[in-house]
Amino acid sequence: MSILVLAEHHDGQLAGATAHVVAAARAIQQDSGGDIDVLVAGENVGAIADAAARLDGVSRVRVADAAVYAHQLAEPLGELLVALADDYGHVLAAATTTGKNVMPRLAALKDVAQLSEIIAVESADTFQRPIYAGNAIATVQSDDALKVITVRATAFDAVAETGSASVEAVDTVVDNALSSFVGEELAASDRPELGAAKVVISGGRGMGSGDNFKLLDGIADKLGAAIGASRAAVDAGFVPNDMQVGQTGKIVAPELYIAVGISGAIQHLAGMKDSKVIVAINKDEEAPIFQVADYGLVADLFEALPELESKL
């Protein structure tokens, strides 16, 4: 059976995550055989389809180009996937807010379980996925005829872009009377989004106040980093909840994570310990954060931060 990958795209561009999901599809293909197709659904998505056709390992790009698929609302996109799924043994999407929104609809309508956010492929029916915010790794096996899967993109290396798949139109156009798009407000900040940033710098209760979070700005600017916070800093009212990194906030896994004035509570560690390199700056040398940090600096953050900014 073949494998279908739902392409992720924004603003007329194929999102980088898709190349990582195709890599996961290739790992499945090694066991299951079959072709890899990519579905591009949206409105005026010709250029995106061409970009998807260049991804290595893809045989065919299927393009559903219609107004009803604009903004990739879950209801019509789910129905489209249901209409196409019978040709496939696996349907994959990135574990992004788009993939997470639509894939469970496909699974439910096909009466199969979904495997969320896989990080490794053991075989065509067995996968690893983090549970308890990454504090345990589950190996799960699905006997369903159709496997509906979301993929943690950072766990798979992107495929190269030297392919030349065929591009075919999909005629299926569904109705959608249930939901409509009203508007979008994308972060205007030059800073990357927490979940996608290569560098994250977070402050904890040790920052002392919301104003002091400005000390992180200059460093974030220099490193192109997103700014996060521990739950303690959020609960203390320093910063809004959407900055929270941790089990009850955002789960991040950047190349570099800098924890400033964060003691390292379990719930925070759960949200950042898959980062490639962790730096901790804390004046308490007994702080548990140092047990997971690659580089620990025992220092007063109010002295260390300005110095760090000046030396980057």
Q: Which of residues 253-292 bind another protein (CB under 8 A)?
A: 255-256, 265-267, 273-274, 276-279, 285, 290-292
For residue 263, say whether it is annotated as part of any ligand binding site. yes
Shortest Å, Cβ 126 to another protein: 7
Using CB under 8 A, pick the residue from 114, 154, 202, 230 that binds another protein.
114
Using CB under 8 A, pick the residue from 18, 29, 96, 212 that binds another protein.
96
Residues 26-55 that bind another protein (CB under 8 A): none
Report angle CA 248, 242, 294 to the nearest 5 degrees: 65
175 touches another protein (CB under 8 A): no
DSSP letter string, 189-227: SSSPPGGG-SEEEEE-GGG-SSGGGHHHHHHHHHHT-EE
Residue 237 has what DSSP assignment? Answer: T
For residue 29, say whether it is annotated as part of any ligand binding site. no
Take residue 306 and report the two structure tokens written for it. Answer: 């300005």
Using CB under 8 A, pick the residue from 2, 87, 248, 302 that binds another protein.
248
Q: Which stretch binds another protein (CB under 8 A): 44-52, 56-64, 185-193, 202-210?
A: 185-193
Nearer to another protein, 108 or 173 (CB): 108
Helix (H) or strand (E) holding 26, with range, is helix 17-32
Residue 245 has what DSSP assignment? Answer: B
Nearest CA among 181, 174, 234 for reference residue 71? 181
Nearer to another protein, 60 or 71 (CB): 71
Using CB under 8 A, pick the residue from 172, 218, 299, 302 that binds another protein.
299
Binding mask 198-237 for another protein (x = CB under 8 A): -x-----------------------x--------------
| Cβ atoms of residues 263 and 276 within 8 Å | no
Take residue 156 and report the two structure tokens written for it. Answer: 């798979």
Look at the block and give the residue holding tokens 């290569």. Answer: 198
Q: Which residues pair with 37 in a beta bridge?
A: 4, 60
Using CB under 8 A, pick the residue from 5, 53, 55, 107 that binds another protein.
107
Nearer to another protein, 53 or 68 (CB): 68
Distance in angstroms (rounded) separating the CA atoms of residues 93 and 41: 12
State the amino acid at position 92 in one-letter form: L
Shortest Å, Cβ 164 to another protein: 29
140 touches another protein (CB under 8 A): yes
The size of the interface with another protein (CB under 8 A), counted in residues, is: 93
| Cβ atoms of residues 92 and 25 within 8 Å | yes
Q: Is 281 helix (H, G, I), strand (E, B) or coil?
A: strand
Take residue 31 and report the two structure tokens written for it. Answer: 């066991």
- Residue positions in the annotated binding site? 205, 230-231, 244-248, 261-268, 282
- Residue positions in the annotated binding site for FAD? 205, 230-231, 244-248, 261-268, 282
